[in-house]
C-alpha cells in the first residue's frame, strides 16, 4: 500500500511542477506572475466535473460544507493545493532504512 501513496505523491509533485511551469510561461507572455487558483485550473481541465461536484456536495452533503470546506480549497493557489499533499505523502510513505543492531 505504501507504494501507492508514494506513486500518488510523485504524481502530485509533478503536477505541481507543471502548474509552476505553466504559470511561469504565462508570466513571460503577459509580463506579470500570477498563481492560478485550484478551482480555475480544475475548471480549465474539466468544467463539467467541477459543476457536478458542487451539485453533489450541496445536494447530498451540505451547502455549508461546500461554502466552508470546498470553496477555500478551490480559491487557494493550485501549486499549494498540489504540493502540500505531495510532500506529506512522500514524507509519510518514504522507504526507511533498516537499522542494524549488531
User: pLDDT value at position 86?
Assistant: 96
- Which residues are CB-contacts of 33 (< 8 A; sequence separation ≥ 6)? 23, 24, 27
User: pLDDT value at position 97?
Assistant: 75
Whether the predicted model's global pTM rises above the 0.95 cut:
no
User: pLDDT value at position 48?
Assistant: 95
User: pLDDT value at position 99?
Assistant: 74
User: pLDDT value at position 94?
Assistant: 85
Mean pLDDT per block of 10 residues along the chain (102 residues) reads: 92 96 93 93 94 96 95 96 96 81 72
Domain ranges for the chain, please list them. Answer: 2-92
Amino acid at each position: 500500500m505504501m507504494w501507492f501513496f508514494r506513486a500518488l505523491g510523485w504524481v502530485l509533485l509533478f503536477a505541481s511542477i507543471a502548474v509552476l511551469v505553466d504559470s511561469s510561461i504565462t508570466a513571460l507572455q503577459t509580463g506579470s506572475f500570477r498563481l492560478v487558483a485550484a478551482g480555475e485550473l480544475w475548471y480549465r481541465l474539466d468544467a463539467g466535473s467541477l459543476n457536478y461536484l458542487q451539485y453533489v456536495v450541496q445536494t447530498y452533503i451540505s451547502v455549508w460544507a461546500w461554502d466552508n470546506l470546498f470553496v477555500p480549497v478551490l480559491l487557494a493557489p493550485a501549486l499549494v493545493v498540489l504540493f502540500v499533499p505531495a510532500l506529506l505523502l512522500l514524507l509519510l510513505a518514504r522507504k526507511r532504512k533498516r537499522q542494524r543492531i549488531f
